[in-house]
Amino acid sequence: MHVPPGFAVVTPYIFANGAEAYVRFLEAAFGAEEIGRSTAPDGRIANCQLRFDTATIMVSEASEAFPASSTALYLYVALADEAVERAIAAGAKKIMDVEDMPYGDRQGGVRDPAGNIWWISQRLSAKPYF
């Protein structure tokens, strides 16, 4: 089996209304880096690949055939408090304050402009979760 570099066996794929603005949000909020894009004849995003450090997600413009989707994503960052504040400044809404969790993460939560939930976590412990 071949998986392209930077991708995982399972790679999140989000359909968003206003995909161009959503890509800009992901860059501003989470430091995502656009690594590839294809566009439809009308100029809308057919597929945009964004790298988050070691992970990649894909984003496309929603359509009648592929309506906007929402999901929940767990994002590890170096500093959870700063990352949550950056996401809010970029347009996300806080859904959970940043707190130390019993499973060894410092975590907060936001809902992005497309309705997706991001659990933003900083690992505090080198121990496995359970």
pLDDT above 90: residue 129: no
Tens digit of pLDDT for each residue in 103-127?
999 999 999 999 999 999 999 987 7
With cut-offs at 50, 70 and 90, classify the pLDDT of residue 3: confident
Q: Count Cα neighbours of 19 within 13 Å in the Cβ-side half-sphere.
A: 27
CB–CB of 95/120 below 8 Å?
Answer: no
CATH topology of domain 13-62+70-123: 2,3-Dihydroxybiphenyl 1,2-Dioxygenase; domain 1 (3.10.180)
Q: What is the pLDDT of residue 101?
A: 94
Every domain of the chain and the residues it spans: 13-62+70-123
Tens digit of pLDDT for each residue in 27-84?
999 999 999 999 999 999 999 999 999 999 999 999 999 999 999 999 999 999 999 9
Structure tokens at 34: 């656009």
